[in-house]
């Protein structure tokens, strides 16, 4: 599932980068609009950036949902395991499997309920009427967002998709733990590339060598 891992990482990076860029542009726009510069101020005030905050919120919601799935896969979620780690290995394994399967059940429930909500919140109209061209008299077209005027079901689609992926990650981790007894672990104090750089860096303060080759 390397392609899924890569897609997950790229999606989170793109969502975060896009939200950051929009926020930066909106702040610069608001700041420069306050300067009485002929021509520039009128042009900036004519730009409608009211949608920026709404878009940023939606991007961070999507990022959080898929980032949570990434966290399950890599083991970066914080957990209180003081008591669990003091148990005997067989008992500890059962509790860990129970926790992973409970997480899978919970996220599967959220994904199912979220999918039903999204479908009846306008996705059914978009698919049946706009995409397939069927007669959908009586179906609810669905609301739109205040500033961007996007169908809200597109925004809420992050719930079933993100929760469904998170459920899959819980099952994946549980399967690997059942067969190997190992959980994904992330060292929060480790910085990628730092150890390698330290090992490869030359010693800038070598110790003087005593006669005979002994330090």
Least confident of 79-93, 149-163, 201-215: 201-215
- Indicate whether 194 belongs to any domain: no
Q: Is 199 exposed, middle or buried (0-12, 13-18, 19+ CB in 10 A)?
A: exposed
Q: What is the DSSP letter of 151?
A: B
CA Rg value for the chain: 26
SS3 144: strand
- Domain boundaries, position 118: 2-183
- Indicate whether 215 belongs to any domain: no
Separation between Cα atoms, residue 139 and residue 141, nearest integer Å? 6
- pTM, two decimal places: 0.79
What are 142-186's pLDDT values in tens digits?
Answer: 899 999 999 999 999 999 999 999 999 999 999 999 989 888 876
- Indicate whether 158 belongs to any domain: yes
Are 24 and 82 within 8 A, CB to CB?
no
What are 104-146's pLDDT values in tens digits?
Answer: 999 999 999 999 999 999 898 888 887 887 877 777 788 999 9
Region of residue 28 (phi > 0: left; psi between -120 and 50: alpha; otherwise: beta): alpha
- Indicate whether 197 belongs to any domain: no
- Indicate whether 104 belongs to any domain: yes
């Amino acid at each position: 599932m390397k392609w899924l891992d890569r897609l997950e990482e790229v999606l989170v990076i793109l969502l975060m980068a896009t939200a950051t860029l929009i926020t930066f542009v909106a702040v610069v726009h608001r700041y420069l609009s306050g300067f009485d510069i002929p021509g520039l101020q009128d042009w900036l005030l004519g730009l409608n950036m009211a949608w920026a905050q709404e878009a940023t919120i939606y991007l961070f919601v999507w990022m959080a949902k898929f980032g949570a799935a990434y966290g399950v896969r890599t083991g970066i979620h914080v957990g209180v395991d003081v008591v669990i780690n003091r148990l005997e290995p067989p008992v500890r394994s059962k509790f860990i499997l129970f926790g992973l399967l409970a997480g899978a059940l919970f996220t599967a429930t959220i994904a199912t309920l979220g999918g039903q909500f999204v479908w009846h919140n306008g996705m059914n109209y978009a698919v049946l009427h706009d995409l397939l061209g069927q007669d959908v008299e009586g179906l609810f077209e669905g609301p739109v967002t205040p500033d961007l005027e996007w169908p809200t079901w597109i925004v809420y689609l992050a719930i079933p998709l993100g929760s469904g992926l998170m459920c899959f990650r819980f099952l994946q981790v549980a399967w690997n733990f059942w067969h190997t007894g190992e959980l994904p672990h992330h060292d929060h104090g480790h910085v990628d590339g730092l150890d390698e750089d330290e090992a490869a860096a030359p010693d800038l303060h070598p110790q003087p060598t005593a006669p005979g080759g002994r330090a």
